[in-house]
Amino acid sequence: MTAALTDAAIAVLLGTVLGSGLWSILAALPRWSAPQLVRRIAPYVRDITDPAGTSLPAPALIDPAAGLTALVRVGWRAFRRRLVPLLGGTTVLATRLRRAGWKADAERFRERQLALAVGAAALGALVTIGLALTGRFTIPSLLLPIVFGVAGFFGTDVWLTQAVNRRRQRIEDELPTVLDFLALCLAAGESLHDAVKRTASVGVGALAGELRAVTVETGTGSNLATALAAAGERIGVPGVSRAFDHLLSALERGAPLAAVLRDQATDAREDRKQGMLDQAGRKEVTMLFPLVFLILPLSVLLAVFPGIHLLRLG
């Protein structure tokens, strides 16, 4: 059974290499790779016959490389068109992409996720063929393409989750400084809109980028309160949403905005300090694992082994 599978793997590998070589040779021949006469002279007569280029015939698929590329493109589009709607979760995924700060939409992310899954499955198939060629093939090795494909699919989702968490942490770190700068601008006599605009132009970071988006929305006719509320919902950080809600409430009631922002900056620092203490507590528990399972056994071995060795010698 193993010998037959090894022979089959060798046959697939050699057939793939032979097909790729023949295809490359055909694509390199002048008769196959040369463009059509119509397409060669079209740029020189298009301004007279067809300025828009609508009647130009499509390139013939005589070129093997062009035909293979077109076939792969059509197959991938059909596969993507059928599978992407089945994955679902477009609204939630779009929210996560916005909170991660990525420019890609949900459909483009799903395409990338499917491409990585297919590439990982192909890598798993190559590993299976390699195991068969080296004589180490086993029946569970047939599951490697599936395992690699699933890992590539869900690994992209894990990557997105980590990006969301990193950006959230950066925004939480930047929040007290941004609120203090807003309070300073308001105390200097600027309006809230001017303070937000100045902070967005001077600041550097994820939160300053969100404030720049707010200034763009207000510059195109949106209300400042609506833009700030939408930004708080888009960012998805509780501290930012709470600060923006208190700021909008103070703006509606006529309370001093500078004092409200200073209080919010103090609360943000306290929340960040408490979060760091909680994180330190979790890290302390995590550090017990190498201490208990690595350092402590080595210490016991270094202390006990010389005594055992001396007892054996005696």
* Cβ atoms of residues 167 and 100 within 8 Å: yes
CATH architecture of the domain with residue range 168-273: Up-down Bundle (1.20)
Burial, 30: exposed, middle or buried (Cβ in 10 Å; 0-12, 13-18, 19+)?
Answer: exposed
Cα(217)–Cα(113) distance, integer angstroms: 31
- Quick one: average pLDDT of 263-267? 83
Higher pLDDT, 313 or 5: 313
Asked if residue 117 has pLDDT above 70, the reply is yes
pTM over 0.85: no
CA dihedral angle for residue 253, residue 259, residue 262, residue 264, rounded to 10 degrees? -30
pLDDT digits (tens, 9 = 90+) for 270-302: 888 888 888 888 877 778 888 888 888 888 888
Among 3-17, 176-190, 268-282, the minimum mean pLDDT is found in: 3-17
**Band of pLDDT at residue 29, cut at 50, 70 and 90:** low
Asked if residue 248 has pLDDT above 50, the reply is yes
Provide φ and ψ at 29, rounded to 5°. -70, 140
- Quick one: average pLDDT of 116-142? 81
**Band of pLDDT at residue 250, cut at 50, 70 and 90:** confident
Write down the pLDDT at residue 61.
Answer: 44
User: How distant is the alpha carbon of residue 9 from its chain centre?
Assistant: 35
Exposure string for 90-122, b = 16+ CB within 10 A, e = fewer: eeebebbbbbbbeeeebeebbbebbebbeebbe
* Cβ atoms of residues 57 and 95 within 8 Å: no
Cα(139)–Cα(38) distance, integer angstroms: 55
For residue 266 the two structure tokens come to 């103090």
Average pLDDT, the chain: 77
**Band of pLDDT at residue 87, cut at 50, 70 and 90:** low
Most confident of 42-56, 150-164, 251-265: 150-164
Cα(224)–Cα(214) distance, integer angstroms: 8
Q: Residue 217 contacts by C-beta under 8 Å, 6 or more apart in sequence?
A: 226, 227, 230
Among 31-35, 81-85, 140-144, the minimum mean pLDDT is found in: 31-35
Give the per-residue SS3 of 70-123. HHHHHHHHHHHHHHHHHHCCHHHHHHHHHHHCCCCCHHHHHHHHHHHHHHHHHH
- Quick one: average pLDDT of 140-162? 87
Write down the pLDDT at residue 60.
Answer: 45
Q: Where are the domains of the chain?
A: 1-46, 168-273
Residue with tokens 């202390």: 303
Asked if residue 54 has pLDDT above 60, the reply is no
Write down the pLDDT at residue 62.
Answer: 47
CA atoms lying within 13 Å on the CB side of residue 292: 6
For residue 238 the two structure tokens come to 């509780």
